[in-house]
């Protein structure tokens, strides 16, 4: 149950970190969309491990294999099945985790809920599950591209190091020019140095990703229980290690008066627009045609390569020092995942909007 995401555009994912592979089935994808498999692979490459010294050293090609739903380079409207085979598991690295619970990890809750857990890499709770999301999100991006909708995410904070401006203050073309995926080269170096330092200590660190959606039409969203910002929040908070979501001014807006935060309308040569965009492109749960922007906070990853106190499966106090290959900071590899979840949400709600009026 609950391994599916979406309403009309719907992804059902399967697989575990140290199983044979990770994959999914996409239903409701429109027919006739040109499927650029090279683009899909590029999106996976942005997520895969071992891409820099800042990420886990696990080496996986993460080559996607499509099984159905594509004919002569286009979607057929039938279910799109795909799989990415696991090739570089080091399951023995996790043997010392078999009978203990990692602090702040899903080890304990999975064991209590199911009575069994796959300790090898965390099984289904591993972020390797997000491979399916990136593939589905890449396909959603290809469909949204035809509609003129573009989605971009970037690292805006690592620990105490943060960008002070908004997305409009930076050249977003610079995001992929550094390992941290930050549009400010100087801040990116500071962030990378901090991640590398923390990694050397066997510790981890968190931060924030910012995402902007441009070209979204007016009216996407399904009040009252399917508001667009709620759908985006649900999508983002389903990602491993995500702890908070805010859109528009978010908590910063608490310091403003209504007269300061309201987005005043004006007539721009026959088109109704607003002078500001404090609302983050969404009003009343519906997109208003302005840029949609939001932030997602990710916690420091729970698995540390340093000694921690914990308990074993018998409830006896003990200590644990994890082994293996782990990220010190999830943010650089989470960028394509955030974009993927946003793309799936927007495409799904675009298709839902087509049912509003005959």
Q: Which residues are annotated as a binding site?
A: 47, 124-126, 240-241, 284, 299-303, 325
- Expressed in percent and rounded to 5, the helix, strand and coil fractions of the chain are 35, 25, 45
For β-strands 271-274 and 265-268, DSSP reports them as: antiparallel
Binding residues for FMN: 124-126, 240-241, 284, 299-303, 325
Report the alpha-carbon distance of residue 9 to residue 25 in Å, rounded: 11
Contact 346, 281 (CB under 8 A): no
Burial of 258 from C-beta contacts in 10 A (0-12 / 13-18 / 19+) = exposed
What residues pair up with 310 in beta bridges, in sequence order? 318
Type and span of the H or E element at 247: strand 242-247
Report the alpha-carbon distance of residue 266 to residue 100 in Å, rounded: 61
Type and span of the H or E element at 268: strand 265-268
**Dihedrals phi, psi of 258, to nearest 5 degrees:** -60, -40
Q: How far is CA 242 from the centre of its chain?
A: 9
Binding residues for NADP(+): 47
DSSP for residue 30:
P
Report the alpha-carbon distance of residue 14 to residue 131 in Å, rounded: 10
Contact 296, 155 (CB under 8 A): no
**Dihedrals phi, psi of 204, to nearest 5 degrees:** -135, 165
């Amino acid at each position: 149950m609950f391994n599916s995401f979406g309403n009309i555009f719907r992804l059902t994912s399967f697989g575990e970190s140290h199983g044979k592979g990770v994959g999914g089935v996409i239903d409701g994808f429109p027919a006739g969309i040109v499927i650029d498999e090279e683009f899909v692979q590029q999106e996976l490459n942005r997520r895969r491990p071992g891409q820099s010294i800042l990420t886990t050293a696990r080496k996986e090609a993460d080559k996607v294999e499509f099984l159905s739903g594509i004919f002569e380079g286009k979607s057929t409207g039938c279910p799109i099945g795909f799989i990415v085979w696991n090739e570089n598991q080091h399951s023995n690295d996790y043997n010392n985790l078999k009978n203990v619970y990692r602090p702040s990890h899903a080890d304990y809750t999975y064991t209590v809920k199911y009575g069994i857990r796959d300790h090898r890499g965390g099984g289904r709770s591993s972020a390797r599950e997000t491979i399916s999301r990136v593939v589905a999100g890449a396909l959603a991006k290809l469909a949204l591209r035809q509609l003129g909708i573009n989605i971009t995410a970037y690292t805006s904070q690592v620990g105490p190091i943060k960008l002070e401006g908004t997305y409009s203050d930076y050249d977003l073309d610079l995001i992929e020019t550094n390992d941290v995926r930050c549009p400010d080269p100087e801040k990116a170096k500071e962030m990378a140095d901090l991640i590398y330092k923390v990694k050397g200590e066997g510790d981890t660190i968190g931060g924030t990703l910012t995402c902007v959606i441009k070209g979204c039409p007016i009216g996407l969203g399904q009040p009252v229980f399917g508001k667009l910002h709620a759908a985006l929040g649900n999508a983002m908070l389903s990602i491993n290690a995500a702890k908070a979501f805010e859109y528009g001014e978010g908590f910063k807006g608490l310091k403003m008066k209504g007269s300061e935060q309201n987005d005043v309308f004006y007539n721009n040569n026959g088109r109704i627009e607003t002078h500001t965009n404090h609302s983050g492109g969404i009003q009343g749960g519906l997109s208003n045609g302005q840029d949609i922007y939001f932030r997602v906070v990710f916690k420091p990853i729970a698995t540390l390569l340093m000694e921690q106190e914990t308990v074993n499966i018998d409830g006896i106090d003990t200590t644990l020092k994890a082994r293996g290959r782990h990220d010190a900071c999830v943010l650089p590899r989470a960028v394509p995942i955030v974009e993927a979840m946003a793309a799936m949400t927007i495409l799904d709600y675009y298709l839902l909007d087509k049912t509003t009026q005959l």
